[in-house]
Structure 1
């Protein structure tokens, strides 16, 4: 397999828990598990958190003996929901080892690979560890392995607020990802909540108190399974998966290297499949316009259809892609703006749904989120709110200046897609 999996902080490890539960419990075709394991049958994953609780729970709840003990890296105290605290670390030898131990475990996993091509990173944008330490590790990965891809699976906090520092943390983390990552699969907690509620047949706003965190993480893991689980089109003649799905995804949906924020949605069904109907379900909640009224556009999209009846999708793929291109408003200058993959195997909600359609698009609605983060963080910055917590732990004014400029420039480029 070409990838090493890295999950950071509470959110990253909770999503990883659902992801590995899905992977290890599935009835995989022969050769499909090769992408996720080393030759000694241990998962190629490094789990790191500044507190031990979530990582230890993950080890117990997933099939035993699949994790390498040396790759479960924990500290003794949290990072206070502070990006600077997570990035620069605690001024004690034992806690500073958290970063060094993680890089050492990553190095060993890379050396176990037949051919290392990149790292998939799970984390949140709001926590001190998930935002700060992930930024530092992303930067270190780019410096240590400049030819390797970095695909970040990033979870954005609820708009209503999870922490008074979440706008600063998101601002700084997003700017680091923009600088060092090759693609960012961006999941918004508010949107994930709505999708999970829809799958469970619950109504909003009551669903906010009825949908469990596990159900939300399962939806994210299901989207990842739709995009990243091995497909037969990327297997060798012997039936062994090459594990190129994450990198082929990036090559498909990131035609412009400066635009790398990816919107992902999934719809599923049982029984007889109607792909046009699934496509409608995917695009129904898609944001159509920015707050200023300009229509959103996409530089590229990828649709992954997984179903025992994949031939039915192949017969209807033209109409499905036309509907998706129209809904996502694909730019006219990209002649190959919509692509599709198919496979007979689906891991989404195993046993409940036989057919899934997962769509990943480089969609300008991400700019709305970036602009909101930049504006709210700037308002706090101008009033000097909470900044002493960042200066105390090694952050500098230049870090904020570069972050504000990075997000503003991305927003401007997305806004010109229709020109």
Structure 2
């Protein structure tokens, strides 16, 4: 199959291991079609963290022969919620050990493939390992495999309250991701918390039942549900003979990233346990889509992908859902084909053998991402103006000009979205 999952840091592994457990519970038919499961029935997953405590669940997968032990790469100390420390690591041999081990694990998985399409990296952008080491791994993978795809699943922190360094870390991480990745699936913690309340039925079905039902767990399940909605195999991308090529992650990039200068993607989702009209589910996904900027300017979408699961009667394409989504996302006029759709008669997320439940996942290259970029830039500049915490980054080789370069990158992205 075509993809390797790379999970980096505490956030990335919490989400990624939830994703792994979901993959292990899918039917044999879906597992056979999935780009994330090998011919040997093991997970094409590499787990990386600078501390061992988060990887205990990974070792359980190793014990159950679902994950190779060599694909669990762990260090002996954290990265202090510091992008610079995560990126450069400690001085000496220990600094390169985690990076080298992760790249070797990715290489081994890539070389097993008949066709290696690329890597999907799951991480957070506010901590030290996920943001700093994640950025370094993106650069190394891009240099090592220049023609393969690189898609990131990046979790953005709450606007305030998580860490005094979170805005610096987010700034530097988004800069690296924009330079190296082909597409960036952004999940905001604030939005995920809202999505939990709006779509609780999806979060509690078909996922690991052993995790306590606290808020963080629900948020993780919501994000994993959205990932599965987009990246699970779909019937409409199989060949005429029924062969699945596992191209969903890369077709996603081609569908919603028509220009490489703007590739920050937003995801919404709606579901129903009973038969519903698809345009009603489309309307539910639009409820959380921002329409106007703080300045009163209308947001727009460069491209939209809708993935309908549970489309047994093939009614999605003939419904008003696509028209409703095109209007609701205000698709740009210059893109002649701004909306794409995939369908599958089953919905594996419900665990229902009949596939009767419906799930609609919508991915949009939406200009409302400029609000996140503006907030990150503003808060970072406020701290830089008084040189707050900069010495923590300078200690590991990150200078003021590195922050300025990252700011210029994000400003250029904002201008690109505002110009559409």
| Same fold by TM-score greater than 0.5 | yes
The alpha carbon displacement at 1:308 in A equals 4.8
Counterpart in 1 of 2:303?
300
Which deviations, in whole Å up to 9, do the C-alpha atoms of 1:119-165 show, x marking residues without a partner? 10000010100100000000011111100111000000001320000
Alignment of 1:338-353 (within 5 A): 338-351=339-352
CA distance in 2, matches of 1:356, 1:406: 36
The alpha carbon displacement at 1:405 in A equals 0.2
CA distance in 2, matches of 1:94, 1:371: 37
Which of 359, 362, 367 aligns to 1:364? It is 367
Alignment of 1:73-222 (within 5 A): 73-200=73-200, 211-222=214-225
1:223–1:348 Cα contact (<8 Å) kept: no
2:58–2:67 Cα contact (<8 Å) kept: no
The alpha carbon displacement at 1:117 in A equals 1.3
CA distance in 1, matches of 2:39, 2:29: 18
The alpha carbon displacement at 1:8 in A equals 0.3
Counterpart in 2 of 1:205?
none
Moved more, 55-64 or 215-224: 55-64
Counterpart in 2 of 1:273?
276
Aligned pairs, number: 407
2:10–2:54 Cα contact (<8 Å) kept: yes
CA RMSD between the two structures: 1.8
The alpha carbon displacement at 1:96 in A equals 2.6
Moved more, 166-175 or 41-50: 41-50
Alignment of 1:377-392 (within 5 A): 377-392=380-395
1:193–1:211 Cα contact (<8 Å) kept: no
2:33–2:245 Cα contact (<8 Å) kept: no
The alpha carbon displacement at 1:33 in A equals 4.5
Counterpart in 1 of 2:206?
none
The alpha carbon displacement at 1:375 in A equals 1.0
Q: Give unpaired runs (5+ residues) of structure 2.
A: 202-212
CA distance in 2, matches of 1:353, 1:126: 39
CA distance in 1, matches of 2:307, 2:25: 22
Q: Give unpaired runs (5+ residues) of structure 1.
A: 202-209
Counterpart in 2 of 1:399?
402
Q: Which secondary structure does the structure 2 equivalent of 1:36 belong to? A: coil
The alpha carbon displacement at 1:250 in A equals 0.5
The alpha carbon displacement at 1:198 in A equals 2.1
The alpha carbon displacement at 1:238 in A equals 5.0
Name the TM-score, length of structure 2 as normaliser. Answer: 0.93
